[in-house]
Amino acid sequence: MASTPFLSKTPTNNISSLPSPSLPLLPSTLSQHKTNPNSLRVNAKIREVFMPALSSTMTEGKIVSWIKSEGDLLSKGESVVVVESDKADTDVETFYDGILAAIVVPEGETAPVGAPIGLLAETEEEIAEAKAKAASKASGSTPPVAETVTPTPPPPATSTPAPAISQPPAAPEGPRKTTVTPFAKKLAKQHKVDINKVVGTGPYGRVTPADVEAAAGIAVSKPSESLAATVKAAASSSVSPPLPGSNIVPFTTMQAAVSKNMVESLSVPTFRVGYLVITDALDAFHDTVKPKGVSVTMTALLAKAAAMALVQHPVVNASCKDGKSFTYNSNINIAVAVAINGGLITPVLQDADKLDLYLLSKKWKELVEKARAKQLQPHEYNSGTFTVSNLGMFGVDRFDAILPPGHGAIMAVGASKPTVLADKDGFFSVKNKMLVNVTADNRIVYGADLAAFLQTFARIVENPESLKL
């Protein structure tokens, strides 16, 4: 499995013994020093193992399995636990020698990034203390049923009591500037209410029609509440109950991440362009390179062709992430969609334009094996600049792909099928043609840019000898 070290530490017993500046102080540790003075008395030799951030989109992780058990001796750099992120399963290592004193988050449960999932003690004498600390964390995670706080009486000399409850703000003395809605102003005039004496309850003290009606002694109508109730009732009635015998299955971590990315993609203005490419030459070329000892797939050929076309059209390889600027990426990293059990992932062929066909094919085979075993490292799936999705092997002739967040374009490749064509002299022939649809971010890629890119891509596919370079 993929492996990543993760630094973990806890508060020390005095301020002078805080971790040195050369070691990063984790946020949860820092907050303990700031907000809880008692935490300074915790033994410095009990350290926390935190849930690491294994990708830029990861907000929580699931404990797949604990490699070590409570009471096991650990060595620095040794794998302790397997964590499922939104992309892969990863071994989490320790930076310290010690004893796994307590497991805070058991197998099968999730924890947010940065939360403690285990405690590490340095000596056997500290194990009991670590277990007590783990128990307090577990009890602290559940909301208290009731808590009685005895207030400290104020000193006798103090004559200003603290208010027990919050009260509506009183109207300030003297002239003040009153913000009034137009309809409230009309009502005030109609009911002869001095608008300057009305206390507004709207945003920033704005006087609303309800405030004027209350000042005039009129029963305040609340159409918004009845409207909200109507909308809520309509929404609840529109959701059909599950059919008898249905099984509701929650998203896995990966499925939840895919869902989040797809929804995020809807905020990007996109357009689509389709292009028919003749593939007879590419099919013949594929047959000639297959016996060379390396399994060259059609997907690898298409990724290589796309990378070579992007060299000539860098704007299609660009990306926009903040909506205010875009970046011309210095590398051409082709992400290729791969369906795996329970989700979808896009392993990345880095610098695909610079790799020869056989090395690229070998690299692609390794990435697919690691993806299906959920062992990809973060840089092997989150560094893509252009995406290829190929469903041609399933006989799909056309489809549109959803643009991944942060990418400038994604190519959807359909199956190559025999098509009757007529030449300029009126003679008919049958050739294999493949429809390629590209979805692009219209903020940075325009129609002419995409058309020129597809023309270059088609020329490379129809004259594939250059793919050997």
The separation between CA 63 and the C-alpha centre of its own chain, rounded to angstroms, equals 18
The separation between CA 225 and the C-alpha centre of its own chain, rounded to angstroms, equals 36
Kindly report the pTM of this predicted structure: 0.57
Give the whole-angstrom CA distance, residue 284 versus residue 330. 33
Q: Are 111 and 60 in contact (CB under 8 A)?
A: yes
CB atoms within 10 A of CB 124: 10
Query: What stretch(es) of the chain map to CATH 3.30.559.10?
Result: 264-467
Query: What stretch(es) of the chain map to CATH 2.40.50.100?
Result: 47-134
Q: Which residues of the chain register pLDDT less than 50?
A: 6-44, 142-154, 156-175, 221, 223-224, 227
Q: Are 346 and 380 in contact (CB under 8 A)?
A: no
Encoded amino acid at 332, one letter: I
Q: Which tokens belong to 338?
A: 């791969």
Query: Tens digits of per-residue pLDDT, 80-103?
Result: 888 876 667 777 877 778 788 788
Is the domain spanning 47-134 CATH 2.40.50.100? The answer is yes
Encoded amino acid at 325, one letter: S
Please give the C-alpha separations between residue 192 and each of 176, 206, 419, in angstroms, as whole numbers.
Answer: 20, 19, 81
Encoded amino acid at 12, one letter: T
Please list the residues that pair with 277 across neighbouring strands. Answer: 434
Which CATH class, in words, describes the domain spanning 264-467? alpha beta
Task: Identify the CA nearest to 411 among candidates 386, 393, 392, 394.
Answer: 386
The separation between CA 301 and the C-alpha centre of its own chain, rounded to angstroms, equals 30
Give the Cα-Cα-Cα angle 65, 67, 68 (nearest 5 degrees). 125
Query: Tens digits of per-residue pLDDT, 188-246?
Result: 888 888 888 888 887 667 788 888 888 887 765 454 455 455 555 555 555 677 788 88
Q: What is the pLDDT of residue 11?
A: 39
Give the whole-angstrom CA distance, residue 408 versus residue 399. 18
Give the whole-angstrom CA distance, residue 107 versus residue 191. 67
